[in-house]
Amino acid sequence: MRTPGCSFVVRILVVLAVSASAARANVQETMTPLLLDMQDAPVPFKGSDGRVHLVYELWVTNFSSGDVVVEKVEVLGDGDVVQTLDSAAVAGRLQPAGQRESAGTLARSVQALLFIHVTLEPGAAIPRNLSHRITMHVNAAPPGQQEMTESGGSVTVDRKPVVSIGPPLRGVGYVSADSCCDASRHTRAAMPINGHVWLAQRFAVDWEQLDAQGRIYAGDREKLESYTIFGKPVLAVAEATVASVTDGLPEQTPGKYPGNISLDQADGNSVILDLGEQHYALYAHMQPGTIQVRVGQRVAAGQLLGLVGNSGNSVAPHLHFQVADKPSSLASNGLPYEIKEFQIAGRSPGTKAFDEAEEKGTPLVITPLSAVQQTKGALPLDQLIISFPGR
Protein backbone atom coordinates (compact mmCIF):
# COMPACT_ATOMS: atom_id res chain seq x y z
CA MET A 1 0.00 0.00 0.00
CA ARG A 2 1.28 3.43 -0.88
CA THR A 3 1.29 6.05 1.81
CA PRO A 4 2.17 9.74 1.59
CA GLY A 5 5.16 8.97 3.78
CA CYS A 6 6.54 6.46 1.30
CA SER A 7 6.29 8.77 -1.66
CA PHE A 8 8.03 11.44 0.44
CA VAL A 9 10.93 9.05 1.00
CA VAL A 10 11.04 8.28 -2.71
CA ARG A 11 11.11 12.00 -3.50
CA ILE A 12 14.00 12.53 -1.08
CA LEU A 13 15.95 9.71 -2.69
CA VAL A 14 15.35 11.18 -6.13
CA VAL A 15 16.59 14.56 -4.94
CA LEU A 16 19.67 12.91 -3.42
CA ALA A 17 20.35 11.01 -6.64
CA VAL A 18 20.07 14.20 -8.68
CA SER A 19 22.39 16.13 -6.37
CA ALA A 20 24.88 13.23 -6.38
CA SER A 21 25.04 13.22 -10.17
CA ALA A 22 25.45 17.00 -10.10
CA ALA A 23 28.38 16.55 -7.71
CA ARG A 24 29.89 13.92 -10.00
CA ALA A 25 29.82 16.39 -12.85
CA ASN A 26 32.03 18.78 -10.85
CA VAL A 27 34.28 16.56 -8.76
CA GLN A 28 36.19 13.76 -10.36
CA GLU A 29 36.00 10.59 -8.30
CA THR A 30 39.17 8.52 -8.33
CA MET A 31 40.23 5.43 -6.47
CA THR A 32 42.69 6.13 -3.65
CA PRO A 33 44.03 2.69 -2.70
CA LEU A 34 46.18 4.25 0.01
CA LEU A 35 44.36 6.00 2.84
CA LEU A 36 46.50 8.84 4.18
CA ASP A 37 46.14 10.26 7.67
CA MET A 38 48.07 12.31 10.18
CA GLN A 39 47.90 12.09 13.96
CA ASP A 40 50.37 14.70 15.25
CA ALA A 41 50.86 17.92 13.29
CA PRO A 42 54.54 18.85 12.92
CA VAL A 43 55.98 21.69 15.01
CA PRO A 44 58.74 23.47 13.05
CA PHE A 45 61.99 24.09 14.91
CA LYS A 46 65.56 25.24 14.27
CA GLY A 47 68.14 22.46 14.13
CA SER A 48 71.82 22.83 14.98
CA ASP A 49 72.50 23.09 11.23
CA GLY A 50 70.72 26.47 11.28
CA ARG A 51 67.85 25.15 9.16
CA VAL A 52 64.15 24.77 9.94
CA HIS A 53 62.99 21.16 10.22
CA LEU A 54 59.57 19.50 10.21
CA VAL A 55 59.40 15.96 11.58
CA TYR A 56 56.21 13.89 11.54
CA GLU A 57 54.61 10.61 10.57
CA LEU A 58 52.20 10.04 7.68
CA TRP A 59 49.88 7.11 8.35
CA VAL A 60 49.40 5.03 5.21
CA THR A 61 46.87 2.18 4.92
CA ASN A 62 46.78 -0.10 1.88
CA PHE A 63 43.02 -0.38 1.30
CA SER A 64 43.37 -2.71 -1.67
CA SER A 65 43.48 -6.45 -2.19
CA GLY A 66 47.07 -6.59 -3.44
CA ASP A 67 50.54 -5.14 -2.93
CA VAL A 68 51.10 -1.42 -3.45
CA VAL A 69 54.62 -0.38 -4.40
CA VAL A 70 55.21 3.21 -3.26
CA GLU A 71 57.44 4.73 -5.92
CA LYS A 72 57.56 8.38 -4.95
CA VAL A 73 56.24 10.67 -2.22
CA GLU A 74 56.20 14.42 -2.71
CA VAL A 75 55.62 16.63 0.31
CA LEU A 76 53.77 19.80 -0.67
CA GLY A 77 54.04 22.95 1.43
CA ASP A 78 51.16 25.31 0.57
CA GLY A 79 50.97 23.48 -2.78
CA ASP A 80 54.67 23.62 -3.70
CA VAL A 81 56.97 20.59 -3.52
CA VAL A 82 59.27 21.01 -0.50
CA GLN A 83 60.61 17.45 -0.35
CA THR A 84 60.69 14.46 -2.69
CA LEU A 85 61.25 10.92 -1.48
CA ASP A 86 62.26 8.54 -4.26
CA SER A 87 61.62 4.80 -4.02
CA ALA A 88 64.84 4.17 -2.09
CA ALA A 89 64.04 6.93 0.42
CA VAL A 90 60.50 5.59 0.85
CA ALA A 91 61.88 2.06 1.35
CA GLY A 92 64.01 3.40 4.21
CA ARG A 93 61.17 5.29 5.90
CA LEU A 94 57.95 3.27 5.51
CA GLN A 95 57.45 0.96 8.50
CA PRO A 96 54.43 -1.34 8.87
CA ALA A 97 52.73 -0.88 12.25
CA GLY A 98 54.71 -2.47 15.05
CA GLN A 99 57.74 -3.32 12.90
CA ARG A 100 61.25 -1.91 12.97
CA GLU A 101 62.07 -2.86 9.40
CA SER A 102 61.05 -0.55 6.60
CA ALA A 103 60.03 -1.45 3.04
CA GLY A 104 58.72 0.35 -0.04
CA THR A 105 56.00 -2.23 -0.74
CA LEU A 106 52.87 -2.37 1.39
CA ALA A 107 51.07 -5.70 1.47
CA ARG A 108 47.26 -5.66 1.21
CA SER A 109 45.38 -4.34 4.26
CA VAL A 110 48.61 -3.23 5.96
CA GLN A 111 48.91 0.04 7.85
CA ALA A 112 52.32 1.71 8.05
CA LEU A 113 53.96 4.87 9.26
CA LEU A 114 55.98 6.91 6.79
CA PHE A 115 58.56 8.81 8.85
CA ILE A 116 59.01 12.20 7.20
CA HIS A 117 61.74 14.75 7.81
CA VAL A 118 61.52 17.98 5.82
CA THR A 119 64.46 20.38 5.95
CA LEU A 120 63.54 23.77 4.54
CA GLU A 121 65.90 25.69 2.29
CA PRO A 122 67.68 28.57 4.10
CA GLY A 123 65.36 31.58 4.25
CA ALA A 124 62.34 29.66 2.95
CA ALA A 125 58.98 30.55 4.52
CA ILE A 126 57.52 27.94 6.84
CA PRO A 127 54.49 26.44 5.06
CA ARG A 128 51.09 26.83 6.70
CA ASN A 129 49.82 23.55 5.32
CA LEU A 130 51.43 20.28 4.29
CA SER A 131 49.97 17.65 1.97
CA HIS A 132 51.30 14.68 0.04
CA ARG A 133 51.28 13.35 -3.53
CA ILE A 134 52.05 9.67 -3.88
CA THR A 135 53.02 7.83 -7.06
CA MET A 136 52.56 4.07 -6.84
CA HIS A 137 52.05 0.75 -8.56
CA VAL A 138 48.79 -0.91 -7.49
CA ASN A 139 48.81 -4.64 -8.20
CA ALA A 140 45.07 -5.03 -7.62
CA ALA A 141 44.13 -2.45 -10.28
CA PRO A 142 43.24 -3.64 -13.81
CA PRO A 143 46.12 -4.07 -16.27
CA GLY A 144 47.06 -0.76 -17.85
CA GLN A 145 45.73 1.18 -14.86
CA GLN A 146 48.17 0.05 -12.21
CA GLU A 147 50.36 3.18 -12.22
CA MET A 148 48.47 5.64 -10.05
CA THR A 149 48.97 8.98 -8.31
CA GLU A 150 46.92 10.20 -5.39
CA SER A 151 47.01 13.15 -3.03
CA GLY A 152 46.05 13.54 0.60
CA GLY A 153 47.27 13.62 4.18
CA SER A 154 46.70 17.34 4.49
CA VAL A 155 47.64 18.96 7.80
CA THR A 156 47.99 22.45 9.22
CA VAL A 157 51.51 23.00 10.57
CA ASP A 158 51.44 23.53 14.36
CA ARG A 159 53.04 26.91 15.08
CA LYS A 160 53.01 26.57 18.85
CA PRO A 161 56.12 28.25 20.34
CA VAL A 162 59.16 25.95 20.64
CA VAL A 163 60.39 25.89 24.24
CA SER A 164 63.80 27.47 24.81
CA ILE A 165 65.86 25.67 27.46
CA GLY A 166 69.29 25.56 29.05
CA PRO A 167 71.61 22.55 28.82
CA PRO A 168 70.80 19.35 30.78
CA LEU A 169 74.53 18.76 31.40
CA ARG A 170 77.74 20.79 31.51
CA GLY A 171 81.23 20.17 30.17
CA VAL A 172 82.81 18.83 27.00
CA GLY A 173 82.78 15.75 24.78
CA TYR A 174 79.09 14.89 24.79
CA VAL A 175 77.59 12.89 21.92
CA SER A 176 73.98 13.54 20.87
CA ALA A 177 73.17 9.88 20.25
CA ASP A 178 69.92 8.83 18.60
CA SER A 179 68.82 12.43 18.18
CA CYS A 180 66.58 13.82 15.50
CA CYS A 181 65.57 13.28 12.66
CA ASP A 182 66.07 10.27 10.42
CA ALA A 183 66.73 6.65 11.31
CA SER A 184 67.19 7.46 15.02
CA ARG A 185 65.78 4.84 17.37
CA HIS A 186 63.99 7.62 19.26
CA THR A 187 62.47 9.34 16.22
CA ARG A 188 60.82 6.08 15.19
CA ALA A 189 59.80 4.85 18.64
CA ALA A 190 56.04 4.63 17.98
CA MET A 191 54.47 2.85 20.95
CA PRO A 192 50.89 1.59 21.37
CA ILE A 193 49.85 2.46 24.93
CA ASN A 194 46.32 2.67 26.33
CA GLY A 195 44.85 2.27 22.85
CA HIS A 196 46.78 5.10 21.21
CA VAL A 197 50.07 5.28 19.31
CA TRP A 198 52.50 7.70 20.96
CA LEU A 199 55.81 9.16 19.79
CA ALA A 200 56.99 10.58 23.10
CA GLN A 201 60.66 10.11 22.18
CA ARG A 202 60.45 11.79 18.77
CA PHE A 203 63.06 14.41 19.77
CA ALA A 204 64.83 12.53 22.58
CA VAL A 205 68.62 12.37 22.89
CA ASP A 206 70.70 9.71 24.63
CA TRP A 207 73.58 11.86 25.87
CA GLU A 208 76.88 9.99 26.09
CA GLN A 209 80.31 11.46 26.83
CA LEU A 210 83.77 10.79 25.42
CA ASP A 211 86.99 11.02 27.42
CA ALA A 212 90.07 12.85 26.11
CA GLN A 213 90.91 9.76 24.01
CA GLY A 214 87.41 9.66 22.48
CA ARG A 215 86.27 6.68 24.54
CA ILE A 216 82.81 6.12 26.05
CA TYR A 217 84.39 3.88 28.68
CA ALA A 218 87.90 2.83 29.63
CA GLY A 219 88.71 -0.39 31.45
CA ASP A 220 86.09 -2.88 32.58
CA ARG A 221 82.98 -2.62 30.40
CA GLU A 222 80.74 -3.95 33.16
CA LYS A 223 81.83 -1.39 35.77
CA LEU A 224 79.73 1.76 36.04
CA GLU A 225 82.76 3.86 37.00
CA SER A 226 84.48 2.98 33.70
CA TYR A 227 82.10 5.26 31.82
CA THR A 228 83.06 8.87 31.17
CA ILE A 229 79.54 10.19 31.77
CA PHE A 230 78.81 8.17 34.93
CA GLY A 231 78.12 10.46 37.91
CA LYS A 232 77.98 13.71 35.95
CA PRO A 233 75.53 16.28 37.37
CA VAL A 234 72.11 16.39 35.68
CA LEU A 235 70.72 19.93 35.56
CA ALA A 236 67.30 21.55 35.43
CA VAL A 237 66.98 23.04 31.92
CA ALA A 238 64.70 25.88 33.07
CA GLU A 239 62.89 27.31 36.03
CA ALA A 240 60.22 24.67 36.52
CA THR A 241 58.04 22.66 38.88
CA VAL A 242 58.93 19.04 39.56
CA ALA A 243 56.05 16.96 38.17
CA SER A 244 57.31 13.44 38.85
CA VAL A 245 60.17 11.66 40.62
CA THR A 246 61.09 7.97 40.52
CA ASP A 247 63.97 6.82 42.72
CA GLY A 248 65.23 3.64 44.37
CA LEU A 249 65.63 1.48 41.25
CA PRO A 250 68.93 -0.44 41.04
CA GLU A 251 71.74 0.21 38.59
CA GLN A 252 71.97 -2.23 35.68
CA THR A 253 75.21 -3.94 34.73
CA PRO A 254 76.61 -2.07 31.72
CA GLY A 255 77.00 -4.08 28.54
CA LYS A 256 74.04 -6.33 29.36
CA TYR A 257 70.49 -5.81 28.18
CA PRO A 258 68.34 -5.72 31.28
CA GLY A 259 65.56 -8.31 31.39
CA ASN A 260 62.13 -8.14 33.02
CA ILE A 261 61.87 -4.35 32.96
CA SER A 262 58.25 -3.28 33.34
CA LEU A 263 56.94 -0.27 31.45
CA ASP A 264 56.84 1.88 34.60
CA GLN A 265 60.48 1.06 35.41
CA ALA A 266 61.88 1.62 31.91
CA ASP A 267 63.08 5.16 32.74
CA GLY A 268 64.87 3.99 35.86
CA ASN A 269 65.42 6.77 38.38
CA SER A 270 63.92 9.74 36.65
CA VAL A 271 62.58 13.26 36.99
CA ILE A 272 59.93 15.06 34.96
CA LEU A 273 59.91 18.85 35.09
CA ASP A 274 56.83 20.91 34.21
CA LEU A 275 58.24 23.71 32.05
CA GLY A 276 54.82 25.33 31.58
CA GLU A 277 52.64 25.68 28.46
CA GLN A 278 52.18 21.88 28.25
CA HIS A 279 55.90 21.17 27.94
CA TYR A 280 57.47 18.53 30.18
CA ALA A 281 61.18 17.60 30.31
CA LEU A 282 62.10 14.01 31.16
CA TYR A 283 65.50 12.91 32.53
CA ALA A 284 65.95 9.13 32.74
CA HIS A 285 68.37 6.42 34.02
CA MET A 286 69.91 8.34 36.96
CA GLN A 287 71.80 6.79 39.88
CA PRO A 288 69.64 5.55 42.76
CA GLY A 289 69.57 7.80 45.79
CA THR A 290 71.03 10.80 43.99
CA ILE A 291 67.83 12.65 43.08
CA GLN A 292 67.79 15.96 44.91
CA VAL A 293 64.23 17.16 44.23
CA ARG A 294 60.68 16.20 45.22
CA VAL A 295 57.32 16.48 43.46
CA GLY A 296 55.86 20.00 43.59
CA GLN A 297 59.20 21.68 44.28
CA ARG A 298 60.18 24.75 42.25
CA VAL A 299 63.64 24.47 40.72
CA ALA A 300 65.89 27.09 39.12
CA ALA A 301 67.58 26.71 35.75
CA GLY A 302 70.88 24.91 36.26
CA GLN A 303 69.87 23.39 39.61
CA LEU A 304 71.21 19.90 40.35
CA LEU A 305 68.56 17.18 39.88
CA GLY A 306 70.67 14.04 40.30
CA LEU A 307 73.62 12.13 38.82
CA VAL A 308 73.93 10.25 35.52
CA GLY A 309 73.53 6.51 36.05
CA ASN A 310 72.42 3.30 34.38
CA SER A 311 69.06 2.42 35.97
CA GLY A 312 65.98 1.18 34.10
CA ASN A 313 66.08 0.03 30.49
CA SER A 314 69.69 1.03 29.85
CA VAL A 315 72.70 -0.84 28.50
CA ALA A 316 75.34 1.78 29.32
CA PRO A 317 75.35 4.84 31.60
CA HIS A 318 73.79 7.78 29.72
CA LEU A 319 71.26 10.55 30.15
CA HIS A 320 68.04 10.13 28.17
CA PHE A 321 66.47 13.58 27.78
CA GLN A 322 63.26 14.56 26.00
CA VAL A 323 60.47 17.13 25.98
CA ALA A 324 56.83 16.08 25.51
CA ASP A 325 53.35 17.50 25.99
CA LYS A 326 52.38 15.45 29.08
CA PRO A 327 54.07 14.43 32.34
CA SER A 328 54.42 10.90 31.00
CA SER A 329 57.58 9.46 29.49
CA LEU A 330 55.81 7.16 27.03
CA ALA A 331 52.14 8.18 26.66
CA SER A 332 52.80 11.70 25.41
CA ASN A 333 53.57 13.54 22.18
CA GLY A 334 57.27 14.36 21.75
CA LEU A 335 57.93 18.06 21.12
CA PRO A 336 60.99 19.85 19.75
CA TYR A 337 62.96 22.28 21.92
CA GLU A 338 65.85 24.63 21.38
CA ILE A 339 68.89 24.73 23.68
CA LYS A 340 69.95 28.33 24.25
CA GLU A 341 73.70 27.88 23.87
CA PHE A 342 76.15 25.09 23.03
CA GLN A 343 79.20 24.39 20.90
CA ILE A 344 79.63 21.77 18.20
CA ALA A 345 83.22 20.50 18.04
CA GLY A 346 82.76 17.70 15.53
CA ARG A 347 80.73 14.84 14.14
CA SER A 348 80.67 11.16 14.96
CA PRO A 349 80.80 8.81 11.94
CA GLY A 350 77.24 7.70 12.75
CA THR A 351 75.14 5.38 14.87
CA LYS A 352 76.86 2.17 13.74
CA ALA A 353 80.31 3.44 14.71
CA PHE A 354 78.89 4.86 17.94
CA ASP A 355 77.33 1.50 18.88
CA GLU A 356 80.64 -0.19 18.20
CA ALA A 357 82.56 2.31 20.34
CA GLU A 358 80.00 1.80 23.12
CA GLU A 359 80.39 -1.96 22.87
CA LYS A 360 84.16 -2.17 22.65
CA GLY A 361 85.37 0.93 24.49
CA THR A 362 87.38 1.91 21.41
CA PRO A 363 87.82 5.59 20.53
CA LEU A 364 85.05 7.09 18.41
CA VAL A 365 86.84 8.55 15.39
CA ILE A 366 85.27 11.97 15.19
CA THR A 367 85.52 14.44 12.33
CA PRO A 368 86.38 17.79 13.90
CA LEU A 369 84.76 20.90 12.46
CA SER A 370 87.28 23.35 10.98
CA ALA A 371 86.17 25.79 13.67
CA VAL A 372 84.10 25.10 16.76
CA GLN A 373 80.54 26.05 15.89
CA GLN A 374 78.91 28.34 18.44
CA THR A 375 75.24 27.51 18.35
CA LYS A 376 72.38 29.49 19.83
CA GLY A 377 68.75 28.44 20.12
CA ALA A 378 68.74 25.11 18.31
CA LEU A 379 67.97 21.43 18.73
CA PRO A 380 71.18 19.34 18.60
CA LEU A 381 70.89 17.01 15.61
CA ASP A 382 72.06 13.39 15.61
CA GLN A 383 75.63 12.22 16.37
CA LEU A 384 77.33 15.55 17.06
CA ILE A 385 80.15 16.18 19.52
CA ILE A 386 78.89 18.90 21.82
CA SER A 387 80.16 21.09 24.65
CA PHE A 388 77.85 22.78 27.11
CA PRO A 389 78.76 25.90 29.08
CA GLY A 390 80.39 25.21 32.47
CA ARG A 391 82.65 22.41 33.59
Binding-site ranges for Zn ion (CB under 5 A): 206, 320
Q: Which is nearer to Zn ion, 62 or 252 (CB)?
A: 252
Q: Which is nearer to Zn ion, 206 or 247 (CB)?
A: 206
For the CB of residue 254, give the shortest distance to Zn ion in the complex, in Å: 15
Q: How far apart are CA 139 and CA 311, in angstroms?
A: 49
Q: Which is nearer to Zn ion, 40 or 206 (CB)?
A: 206
Q: Which is nearer to Zn ion, 132 or 318 (CB)?
A: 318
For the CB of residue 381, give the shortest distance to Zn ion in the complex, in Å: 16
For the CB of residue 167, give the shortest distance to Zn ion in the complex, in Å: 17
Virtual torsion, Cα 157, 37, 98, 336, nearest 10 deg: 0
Q: Which residue is nearest to Zn ion (CB)?
A: 320
For the CB of residue 320, give the shortest distance to Zn ion in the complex, in Å: 4
Q: CB count, 10 Å around CB of 52?
A: 18
For the CB of residue 207, give the shortest distance to Zn ion in the complex, in Å: 9
Q: Which is nearer to Zn ion, 48 or 179 (CB)?
A: 179
For the CB of residue 284, give the shortest distance to Zn ion in the complex, in Å: 7
Q: Which is nearer to Zn ion, 256 or 298 (CB)?
A: 256
Q: Which is nearer to Zn ion, 41 or 266 (CB)?
A: 266
Q: How far apart are CA 105 and CA 137, in angstroms?
A: 9
For the CB of residue 153, give the shortest distance to Zn ion in the complex, in Å: 28
